[in-house]
Each structure stands twice: as structure tokens, then as C-alpha cells.
Structure 1
Amino acid sequence: MTRIPSPPGSNNTRYAEMKSFGYDDEILTDFFGNGMSIQENKSYQFGPFSIDTQERQLMRSGTALPLPPQAVDTLLALIASAGRTLTYHKLGKLLWPDTHVEVENALAKNIAQLRKALGSENGEYIKTIHKLGYKFIAPVIEIREDLASRGSLAVLPLANHSHPDQAFFADGMTEELISHLMKIEALRVCPRTSVMAYKDVSNKPLREIAQDLKVGWVVEGSVLHASNRIRITVRVFEGATEKKVWAETYEKDVQDVLALQSEVASAIAREIRVKVTPNEAVSLAKSRAVVPEAYTAYLRGRYFWNKRTPEDLKRGAEYFRQTIDQDPTYAPAHAGLADTYVLLGTNGYDGMPPSEAMPLAKAAAKRALEIDDALAEAHTSIGYVKLAYDWDWDGAEKEFGRSIELNPAYATAYLWRGHHLMALGRLEEAAQEMQRALELEPLSIPCNLAVGWCFYYARQYDRAIQHYQRVLEMTPNLPLVLYEFGLAFLNKGLPQQALAEFQKADTSSGGAAVAIMLLGHAHARLGQKAEAYEQLARLDQKSKQTYVSAIYKAFIYAGLDEKDKAFEWFEKAYAERPTYLIYLNVEPSMDNLRSDPRYRDLLERVGLV
């Protein structure tokens, strides 16, 4: 590593000297470490470029760009104070502290080399401040060390140029294009959950969207689906400059839609000059003809699955089954059906008894893998069933690991592996997995919730509350968030605040069974027995109309400290195998039962101790 020369004497002297020139602590921290070296743990991204202060190598979409050391020093100085003017005097003292040079001429040479490397002779990145110095004007993002050499891209929701009732088709094509691009390891691609926030947003500059999503490239375009033909138009822009670098239109029969998606993804990768390995090229090129009606049904299934309400999940399952009926060897439809059954059988959704949903999920995922063993989503679904229903801890870990090996960008695999670790009480490891999932899908509600769960199960209630408050800013009054928000208040010793959140959840969920359970549990903890029994009666009434998990009554009786009744219902829950049983070893709300031998016996039978 090239080091900035330091004068004899202590670094503190030089630090103080630099501070006297007007550098603030943040900039100095970026530049000074022991021995006056540039810090070795910083990575930055701007537009399609990235630079790592350890390797000191400017990259463009995974390709190294040669620069002399002094030009690199100049670039790092400008990046560290992006948006602020660095005078000739400041830059001279930083770059040549012990050498007499003609600073303005030397800087002009470095800036010319940088602008040539950046392809921005007109100053899109580095602006000359007349008679004063230079300013780096493009948005700069500090990024994870392991992503520093990767290009980054966001595919904005493709506009629907067909009939309005074909909006699902445009959304599906957006998701499929994202999935294809995610196969390229050298390219970081924003997930669907992040980009869909920009659907129908036409008044926000691309530069700001790129900055929000922390990407160097932005793709936008449109889809026209008419009769049995599909036309896709795509345009690629540099995020920092909004410069259009490429545009093309593609058209094929619907039966060749997979080949169309592969062709578009490969063309985008080629135009932004991202490195594609031979294996990735083969994977991108792999396609097959589809049955048009079946593929349309598949996209409808994904559309309803993404809504994630019990009713929409059931509609999604119907469309996946239609796809399978018309095209039995289309593996993603089997994987989609598995994903749907997994959620329908999960506490909080409660669309089906787990004893019905989970075997169906496993069967669908297995069929998907018989067709395509490299389908990461199917491995993840089987892993979840092994975790939450079979209680096969080793088997679940194996499936999650295989999924991540196949698709390191699949956030759900990290998320559910985090739940696996959390259930086993390995909370620090779980938090790392949840954080990785959140980095991949920062706007995903399940990923955001999971980070809060790690705080909650670690009994860091203040941190959990703060985290859930931020999530509620994203999705006000979402029941799934209100449930966890209330539990954090309850176990912090603030039952009235918890009750208020559970009442909101009860209203916004339309009286979901889990909301009724939490209301009953909170009333019980407050000593309000009559109100707790009212919620038990509501569960009885609801169970006449739809599936209600036995574990919900167990929780209310536990809150009432009626232990015999609680264990009676836990035994019924054990027979059902609801997903929430796997968290009993870390659930703070059950602390009053822990000293009872029956509780340990239950944990042992689930495999938790």
C-alpha cells in the first residue's frame, strides 16, 4: 500500500496541523491511521465506480482502471470530502506535506488523469472551483468491504404499456429480469422489494433514486404484451450523471419469454462492462420454451404471493396450480407453490393448519428440485419445513447452506437460517444472518422484522422498540410489526403501551387470531382476567370459521398463570406443530413457565434442549 509521507515526529502533530487547515474529524478519520496511512477499511462507490482504500484500485463494474499513485491520493481526498470544496492549499498540504511542488499544476495533472479514467472530461464527477480548488460533486456511498469491487444496479419497475389489467405482467417481468441479473456475482442488484417503491414515481430524478438505492447504474423501461408477443424496451443510465449509456428494444413470442429475459440481462451486463464468468454466462443463456397461458398464470401467482395476505396467498396458490396443470415441468411454479404453502402454514398468516400446509410445501419443493436441483428457492423452502415443522435442525441448516451456495443474493435463505439460529439460542450468529438479509433487501418487512426479533429475544427491549418504530415509519399500522412492537413493550414492563399496540393490530388485521391472542395475553398480564377470557371466547368463535392455532390459547392461559390449562393447550399445539413452537426456548413471555418440568419436557421433544 502506498503511504502518504509523514514528517518526523508524532502523528498527533500532523493531525493537529491538518485540522488547522479546516478538515473536520470525519475527513481526518478517513485519512489518518497509525503511521499516517490512509485508513485500510473504507470502500466507496460513486456512479458505476468503486474504490477500496486498502487496495487503492479504481474499479468500474468489476474492471480495474489504472491510475498513478498521486492520482489515487487525489481521488480519495476528494471522495472523503464529497460535496465540499477542497482548496489548492488544503490538497497540497495533504498530498505533498514535505515536498515543494507547484500545487496547482500538479493537481491539474492529477485531475486530468482522473477525469479521463472516469470518462467525465466535462466535470460530471469533479468540479473545478475557479481560483479556489476542486469539489467532488457526485453522490458517494460507503459500502460493505465485500461488495467494494462489484458494480451495482437497480432495475426500476418496468412500465406497463399493455391494457391496465396486465400490470401484473410488467411487475412479473421486472422481477424476472432482476432474478436473471442476480446470477452475476460481480454485480450487486437491488431486490424487488427495494425497487417497487418507485413504481409509478415519475417526478424523482434518477440521480436521487440511484443515491437512495446506493447503485451506480439504473435501468428503466417498458413492457408491451399483446396477443402472443412481448416487447421490452430497456434503457441504462449512469446513476450519478443521469447519462443514458444504452437503449434497446427486444421482441419475441411469449413462449420464448425466458430466452428474451436472458438476452436482455446478458445485454445489460455487456453494456455496463461487468465481468460475467463462463458458468454465469451458461446460466444466463439457459432457457426453455414456455406455455404462454401457463407463464401468464405463473406471473399472476407471483403477483398475489407478493401481497402476502392469507387471501392473496390462496389466490396465488390457485394460479401456481394452474401453471403446473398446463406446464408440469416448469420448476419455478412448483417452487412458488412451496413458498405459498410455507407462509399459509406459518403463525401470523394462519391460512391453513401446518399439518396440511407443510407437507404440501415439502412435496412441491421436492418436485421443483427433481426438475432443477439448482433452484435456490426450493432448497430454502424445504429448509424452512425441516426447521419449523419437522424440527430437523441439521437438515434445515444443510438446505439453507445449499441455497446460499447456489444464490448468494437470495435474502430469504439468510433470513430463515437466522431464524434457525435464533430458535437454538445462538442469537449473535442469528443477528449476523438477519443483518445480511437486510443488506440484500433493505426495504423488506420480514427482513426488518427479523433484526428486531434478534433484539427482542436477546432481551434488549429498548433497541427492539427503537427498531420497530423505524419499521412502522415504513409501513404504518402493519399488523405484523405491531405484534412485535407490543411484545417488546410488554416484556419491558410497559403493559399499557403493549395493549394499545395490540388493539391497533386487532383493528388493522380485521381481528386476526394472533392479534386476539396478544390482546388476551396482555390483559392477563395486567390482571384483567375478565378481558382475557373475552379474548379466549373470541378465539373459540373464530375457530368455527377458520383455522386457529392451539398455541394461541396456550399463550393466553400462560399469561393468566393457569399452568395446567396452558400445558393442556401446548400439548394440542405439539400435535399441530405450529411454527411458533420453535421459539419457546427464547420467548421472554413464557418465563413464568420455565421452572415447570413440563416446559422443559416440551422443549426437549421439539429438540430445543
Structure 2
Amino acid sequence: MNFNWQRVEELFHATAQLAAADRAVFLNKECGEDNELRREVESLVAASEGENSFIEEPALNLGMKILAVGQKQSLVGRSIGHYKIFRLLGEGGMGEVYLAEDRTLERNVALKFLSDGLADDKWAREQLTKEARAVARLENPNICAVYGLEQIGEQNFIVMQYVEGETLASLLRKEPLGFDRALDLAEQIAGALAAAHARGIIHSDVKPQNIVVTLEGQAKVLDFGLAKFARRNQSAAFGAGDQTSHDGPIIGTVAYMSPEQARGEKLDCRTDVFSFGIVLHEMFGGKNPFLRETCEETFSAIITTEPTHFKEPLPSALAGIGQKCLEKGAESRYETAAELLIDLRRLRKGRERAAVIGWRRYLQYYAVASVLLLLLFIGGGDYAYRKATTVHSLAVLPIVNESGDLEKKYLSDGLSRSLFDRFSYLSRLKVKMPTEVRSRQIDQIVQQGRELNVEAVLVGDVFKQNDGLQLHMRMLNTSDGKISWEKTFALKSADTFAMQDDITRDVTSALGMWLIGNEKKSLTHHQTDNQEALSAYMRGRYYWTRRDRDNIQIAIKYFDQAIDLDPSFAEAYAGLADCYVLSSSVLYGPMKPAEAIEKASYNARKAIELNATLPEAHTSMGTINLKYNWDWKEAERDYQLATNLDPNYAPARFWYANLLIVLGRPDDAIREAAIGKSLDPYAHVSMMNYARTLYYARRFDEAAESLNELLQEDAEYAQGLHMLAWVRIQQRRFGDAIILLEKLHAKDPLHSSAALGLAYGKAGKRTDALKMIQELDEFARERSIPPLEKALVHIGLGELDEAFEGLEQAYRDRVPNLAYLTTDPIYDDLRKDARFNDLARRVGLLP
């Protein structure tokens, strides 16, 4: 029997909205003598009670039923390979999912098969493979995991994690979730989508039926990749009689589509944001704001109707999130779920801070007896209110290794960083971590704490006692210099995680903090549960902070080791991204730009996929977009995300300052660099980055003054000497620049050859400049040398044709420093040449 499936869909929607007692009368009227039409609608309604309604299924499923009619063969009770199939879990027009036992590993799994009508379709099998591979890359606790892809006999199927629980759709039908539970689930769902978006994967079918909530309250998002999987045979869903008009294929579930999805337009991550907004409305408002009686009316509502906003007593911040998700124009929504997740977490933290505001009312209503007792209660209430809402501040100074064993330096540095990360999870604790300190004297430590504008300073040292290592920690109040807490731990026998739990708990208590809501849980959050992985990560960060050409390779080795031990260790992926983003420069690495950008991008996205709130991962993504992709808009979005996540993360400030320079906003850049310097005021790299910003802003005298101040503290600091040489060149003090660069060249010729050759050329020392070109050619026989290096020497010699030849090669290779073409004064000699503006336009620096 050939149905008008559009008519079936319309009747289904209308029937599903009616009370059970009214459905028979309605179908008698609408179906008349067409009993088969009535049976089909009734079967769909019955299926909807089992959470398979059309309005909650992909739009192609009804069309795909045509392909499967009469071909369905149940697999229940069969064995396929080492899988014993127990029962059908769910089905759609394109696939069936069964509960089975993996008899080899002795565990239950879910098996996803193609529907019978598609089992022999080569394209469908290819899409099943693509879906499995895409989802297998998403290692996130809120995504249903893919264990493998099997081909046994004629059967092709995906082996997935079996999730015991109830769909969000089912939970919403039973009763309201309650605000806190709904917010917790919303965060988890957004985290899953953020992980997918970080991998460039669009779900395209976000809806309550595709979200399972376990008995423990964990949300699991299912069916990633469905839209891509269902792209080919979309015409089957809308037959020749279909009167809806679309510019392209309609992929997804009608009631949860974005406007661009409903119009059949090209999709990006923002379509998932819109669908999530609809789910958010159901979770907090109780209904889908666009659901209408018919498919056409639902399409129209999605495209043209503004949803009603959340009303009190729901917070206005939640209303703002919901409104931004459901903007009709994709450009007005969150770019990805990672941005959305940040706002949801900010909302939760705001609620936690306000959780004790009810203290005063409580005391006023329940204080009885004498006036004295009432006053005591009110006084106690004020005290409690202040304790629970006060924002505290702490500086975590680098723990000193005094063991005499340089090998243990990684441990002291790693513990400093790990404690800082722990404290950072508390929204009511503003924590700073300078990477260097001026002095270890008590009075100087207290003074540094005052300069950092914190109320206490946490310091520690690792020392050897008998046959073991000890960690001595103490906290100093900046108001009076007194020790408010101290404790010694035996490192050899200590559980690293338990020890950090003790330290963070004791320190917050000594600060006078009352931990409320989820703050206790946040304080004991572990980056990884694998102590060996944590140790490898600490070693990686140790070598990263001391980065040079060799140490950055050692850091990569340790970060890789940490990931091998714990593949879900987000911070370790972020560490790799930090390494690779610098690995195509002569200073840090031998990689070609294409290889460096591929590895940096992979690891940054992987870190964001696992933890979308890591500022270092977003900073690396920003630097990739700045120096490799030359996408200034995306770079700014990444840096702003990083600084919103952690306003005290100094590297994000410095890289953002670089971008602002490229965008022609030098005053903003200097302000941003100054903030970064204030966050880590004694670090060499901090002071040098600030001076570099002054250089790009062409404030050469101020840059020289800042660099001289740095070199007074460390006269051998190579990067500072190198930067000062560039400043001297712009001040036309070529002799001074040559002295600085020759000193560096004696120690590290590769790093300084190009700058020295340029300085020689500017000073009229042509023979010496040509020797630097010859030297660079010799280096190029053994390793990758960016073509920009030789181009700089040609600029110094005034050989513009050769300089532009090198710049063109740098453009083809996407050499990172080409982003500074219109910013760095070293290129000023080229500006009058028409080739300069042409190249700048291609890089995206000129309109």
C-alpha cells in the first residue's frame, strides 16, 4: 500500500497531541474508510509512547520506512560472531539498535545495524563506517562510546557502549526536573556537544530522545553523525506530493531543527546550538517553543516565530542563554557549544555564590525569645553571610627544590601548577601563580604578595630527610606577615592526590572560606586519576617552562607518555598543543609549518573536546588562528574565551596583545600586555613579551628601557638580548645591535644568523651579511629553515627582489611570522613596492 506519507505525518502530529480518549473520534473523522491509513497512524502513535514519535525522529525516517516495508527481520536470539543478541533497544527508518552480550569480554554492548532495506547499500555501509570512526574519536564521558566496527558475514554493525538509564524525553514527560538537576544535565549535554564541535563534528539531531540519563545522573548523548549518515536518500521523506519548499536536503528531527536546517542550507556547529536551545526550553520551561500540530506549521514557527522567554523565578542569565541559543540568525548565536558551556558554568557558579543569601531571612523568621537572643542570631547571620560570600585571594608561589637532586625539580614545579589548578576551580577564590619570584626571604615573599594584591601567599619547598623527600608547605598572610598554616608531608609514601586534597582543604580553611554547594567537590577535582600520568605531565610542564630547541622535544615526549597512560588527560593534550604551536620556528623546533599546525590543531581540539574550560587549549587555538590560519576573527574569539575562563592566565593576555598589534590596535595591545605582565611580574618571559609589544607599537625607547631592566636581572637572557638587538636596529644603532647578536651567535648561531645578517647589511658590511646567507644554506641541508630567515638578510642588503622571493615562499609555506608583515618595522623598507601590498592583501592584513 502506497501512503501519502506527508498526510500520515500530519495526522500523527495531530493525534499525538490529543488525550487518549479523544483520539478514536478524531481518527474516525479524518481517516473515514481508509483503515490502512488509520492503522499506520495508530502504529506511529503507539510507537511514540515508546519514545519513537515522528516529531522526535529524524525527518528522513518515515520516508525510509518505504525502503524497509516487508523486509524487516528481527535479530533477537541470534548469535553473530561472539555477540549474543538479547533484545531490540530501538529502531528508526535507517537503523536498529540491539542489546547484546560480548561473550569474549563478558560485557553487555549495544549493536547498531543498518535496516534491512539498506543492508546491501554500498553507500549506506560507507556512511556507517564514517559514523563509527567519527564517534570513536570523541572520548568524552557524556558521549556514548564506540568500541568498534564489525563485519561478520554479511552483517556490518557498530559496537557501542550500552547505557542503562532513561531518555531525557521520558524524564520530561514524567515530572519537572528541578532547576539544579536541569542545569547539571544542561552542562553535561553542552560539554558533549563542545567535545564534538572541537573535532568539527556536527550532531544535527540534538533532542531529548537522543540523550540518556543514567541512574547516577550522568547524561549520555547518542547518535552522533546521524545527519551525515542520512544525507543521500532524503528525497524519500518528501514525495512528489510534498508542498514544502526547501533549498536543500532536510536533515534532522523537524521539531528540533534550526532555521537554516529547516531551509536545507549549509550547516555548522551553530545548528546544534539552536537545537540545544529548544531542549533547554523543554528542560526549564516545560515545552518545545516551536512544536505545532503539523510539520509545515512547525517549520514555519522555527523560521519565523520568536520563542517566549523564560520567566521568573528562573534567572535572567538563563533567559539570556536561551535567547542567544535560539537567535534566528546563526551569526548571533554562540559559535560553538564551548562558548555556551562557559556561560552555563558561569550561571552555576553564580548560583553557588548566592546560595547563602537566605541566611538573614531564616534568622529573622525563626529568631525568638529575648531581644538579646534575636540580636545574637542576626549577628550570627551577618557573620555567616560574610563568611559564605566573601571572595578571597591567594598567590601560589613556585615550590622550591632544595633536595640537591635536580631531577626532582619537575616535582616541585609540577606540584605548584597542580595546586594552582585545584584552587582555580573555586569561583570565590582568586588565585595567581607567578612563574618566578624575586626572593625567598619571608619579608620579600610577603611584599610580593602585596604587590600581587592577594591576602595570602602559599609557599613550599622540597627537601631531603634521611632516605626520603619531604614537602614543607606554609601560608603567609600579607596583612601582617604571619604564618597562618603550615604542614610537612612525606613525599615517598604520600598518595599525591590525597596530599593535594589535604593541602587545598587546609589552605581554604585557613583563609576562612566556607565551602558551599559543589565547592568541596570542585576542590578535590583531579586532572587525571592516574598518578603515573600526572607525574609524566609534571615533567612535561617542567621542560616546557624551560623551553628551548631541545627541551621542547623532551616536553613532547613526556606529554605523549602521559596520554598513553591516560588517553582522557585533557591537560596533557593542551601541553602538546603548546609545544607544537612553536615548533616551526628556528628557536624552538625543526618542524615545517604544515606539520606543526596539523599536530598543534589536533591536540588543542582534543584538549577542548575533553575539557572545554581549559584556557591554555583555547589560547593555543587562538595562536594557531593568528600565526598559521591568519583568521583574525577566530583568533580573537579564542583569546577572549581563554581570558573569560581564567582572567589570570598570563599567556592568553600576551598572545592577545600580539593579535591586537596585527589588527592595528597598539594601545589596546599595550594594555593587554601590561595586564599579562602584572599577573607574572617577575618572570623573564613576561617582561620580554611586554617589551616586544612596545617594539611592535614602535615605542622603541620604552622597549629598550624595559629590556635593559630585564637584562639587569639576567645579563645572559638570550631572548632578551635578541629582542634588544631588534630595538637597536630600529634606533639605527647598528653597531650596538651587532655586538649583541655576535655574542648570541657564538652560543646559538641558528637563532641569530638572520638578525645578524640583516644588521650587517644595514651597517654596510656586505661580506659579513653574505656569510650569514651561506650559513643559513648550510643549516638548511640538515633541517627545515623558514625562507623568511634569508629574506631578512636580503632586506638588510637592500636586495628587494630576493627578499620578495623569500616572502613569497614563506607565504606558500604559511610561515607564522608573516602575520606581522604590516606590523613589524623590519619590513618598512618594502612598503613602497607594489608587491608588498599585494602580499599583505593575500595574508588578510589589508582589504
TM-score (normalizing by structure 1): 0.69
Change (3 A) 1:320 1:409: same
* One-letter identity of the residue aligned with 2:750: A
Change (3 A) 1:279 1:388: farther
Could you give the per-residue CA deviations for residues 370-428 of structure 1, whole angstroms, max 9, x where no partner exists? 11111111111111111110111111111111111111111111111111111122111
Matches within 5 A, 1:75-94: none
Which secondary structure state, in structure 2, belongs to the residue aligned with residue 151 of structure 1?
A: strand
Within the candidate set 417, 441, 447, 1:211 is matched to 447
Change (3 A) 1:233 1:282: same
* One-letter identity of the residue aligned with 2:834: P
Distance 1:225 1:207 in 2: 25
Distance 1:368 1:475 in 2: 35
Could you tell me which residue of structure 2 aligns to residue 153 of structure 1? 395
Q: Does 1:463 align with 2:706?
A: no
Change (3 A) 1:263 1:368: farther
How many percent identity over aligned positions?
29
Question: Which structure: larger Rg?
Answer: 2
Could you tell me which residue of structure 2 aligns to residue 243 of structure 1? 482
Change (3 A) 1:441 1:351: farther
Could you tell me which residue of structure 1 aligns to residue 135 of structure 2? none
Change (3 A) 1:364 1:216: same
Distance 1:493 1:288 in 2: 50
Offset, 1:152 = 3.9
Distance 1:536 1:261 in 2: 53
* Contact 1:347–1:580 (8 Å) recurs in 2: no
Distance 1:608 1:292 in 2: 47
Q: Does 1:489 align with 2:725?
A: no
Within the candidate set 339, 346, 365, 2:604 is matched to 365
Change (3 A) 1:401 1:347: farther
Could you give the per-residue CA deviations for residues 484-513 of structure 1, whole angstroms, max 9, x where no partner exists? 2111111112111111122122224x2124
Could you tell me which residue of structure 2 aligns to residue 130 of structure 1? none
Q: Does 1:512 align with 2:750?
A: yes
Distance 2:697 2:526 in 1: 46
* Contact 2:608–2:617 (8 Å) recurs in 1: yes
Could you tell me which residue of structure 1 aligns to residue 834 of structure 2? 597
Offset, 1:527 = 1.8
Distance 2:586 2:649 in 1: 23
Matches within 5 A, 1:550-589: 550-589=787-826
Matches within 5 A, 1:277-316: 278=517, 281-287=520-526, 290-316=529-555
Change (3 A) 1:404 1:176: same
Could you give the per-residue CA deviations for residues 65-117 of structure 1, whole angstroms, max 9, x where no partner exists? xxxxxxxxxxxxxxxxxxxxxxxxxxxxxxxxxxxxxxxxxxxxxxxxxxxxx
Distance 2:472 2:581 in 1: 35
Distance 1:254 1:362 in 2: 39
Could you tell me which residue of structure 1 aligns to residue 577 of structure 2? 338
Which secondary structure state, in structure 2, belongs to the residue aligned with residue 396 of structure 1?
A: helix
Which secondary structure state, in structure 2, belongs to the residue aligned with residue 218 of structure 1?
A: strand
Could you give the per-residue CA deviations for residues 435-467 of structure 1, whole angstroms, max 9, x where no partner exists? 111011112333222221232222222111111
* Contact 2:527–2:571 (8 Å) recurs in 1: no
Distance 2:449 2:639 in 1: 27
Distance 2:605 2:494 in 1: 25
Could you tell me which residue of structure 2 aligns to residue 386 of structure 1? 625
Could you tell me which residue of structure 1 aligns to residue 379 of structure 2? none
* Contact 1:160–1:170 (8 Å) recurs in 2: no
Change (3 A) 1:608 1:490: same
* One-letter identity of the residue aligned with 1:208: Q
Could you tell me which residue of structure 2 aligns to residue 441 of structure 1? 680
* One-letter identity of the residue aligned with 1:452: A
Change (3 A) 1:387 1:374: same
Could you tell me which residue of structure 2 aligns to residue 18 of structure 1? none
* Contact 1:518–1:556 (8 Å) recurs in 2: yes
* One-letter identity of the residue aligned with 1:418: A
Offset, 1:518 = 0.7
Within the candidate set 151, 156, 172, 2:414 is matched to 172
* One-letter identity of the residue aligned with 1:210: V
Could you give the per-residue CA deviations for residues 162-207 of structure 1, whole angstroms, max 9, x where no partner exists? 9663332122112211232344455454424134x55xx5xx2x12
* One-letter identity of the residue aligned with 1:212: Q
* One-letter identity of the residue aligned with 1:545: E
Change (3 A) 1:466 1:185: farther
Within the candidate set 255, 268, 278, 2:507 is matched to 268
Distance 2:443 2:494 in 1: 36
Distance 2:668 2:691 in 1: 14
Distance 2:399 2:464 in 1: 15
CA RMSD of aligned residues (A): 2.9
Change (3 A) 1:435 1:365: same
Could you tell me which residue of structure 1 aligns to residue 25 of structure 2? none
Q: Structure 1: which 5+ residue stretches go unaligned?
A: 1-147
Offset, 1:279 = 6.2
Offset, 1:475 = 2.4
Which secondary structure state, in structure 2, belongs to the residue aligned with residue 502 of structure 1?
A: helix
Distance 1:496 1:469 in 2: 17
Which secondary structure state, in structure 2, belongs to the residue aligned with residue 172 of structure 1?
A: helix
* Contact 1:347–1:578 (8 Å) recurs in 2: no
Change (3 A) 1:492 1:555: same
Question: 258-267 or 474-483: which moved more?
Answer: 258-267
Distance 1:383 1:467 in 2: 27
Question: 584-593 or 283-292: which moved more?
Answer: 283-292
Change (3 A) 1:400 1:292: same
Distance 1:163 1:473 in 2: 29
Offset, 1:595 = 1.0
Question: 539-548 or 270-279: which moved more?
Answer: 270-279
* Contact 1:263–1:285 (8 Å) recurs in 2: no
Distance 1:427 1:337 in 2: 31
Matches within 5 A, 1:30-179: 151-159=393-401, 165-179=407-421
* Contact 1:159–1:222 (8 Å) recurs in 2: yes
Offset, 1:576 = 1.9
Change (3 A) 1:178 1:288: closer
* Contact 1:150–1:188 (8 Å) recurs in 2: yes
Offset, 1:573 = 0.9
Offset, 1:213 = 4.1
* One-letter identity of the residue aligned with 1:559: G
Larger relative contact order, structure 1 or 2 (CA cutoff 8 Å, min sep 6): 1
Offset, 1:578 = 2.0
Distance 2:446 2:679 in 1: 16
Distance 1:500 1:555 in 2: 18
Which secondary structure state, in structure 1, belongs to the residue aligned with residue 435 of structure 2?
A: helix
Matches within 5 A, 1:313-332: 313-332=552-571
TM-score (normalizing by structure 2): 0.50
Which secondary structure state, in structure 1, belongs to the residue aligned with residue 485 of structure 2?
A: strand
Corresponding residue pairs, total: 453
Could you give the per-residue CA deviations for residues 338-368 of structure 1, whole angstroms, max 9, x where no partner exists? 1111122345434422221121011011111
Distance 1:260 1:189 in 2: 19
Offset, 1:314 = 0.3
Could you tell me which residue of structure 1 aligns to residue 671 of structure 2? 432
Distance 1:288 1:586 in 2: 39
Change (3 A) 1:278 1:567: farther
Could you tell me which residue of structure 1 aligns to residue 317 of structure 2? none
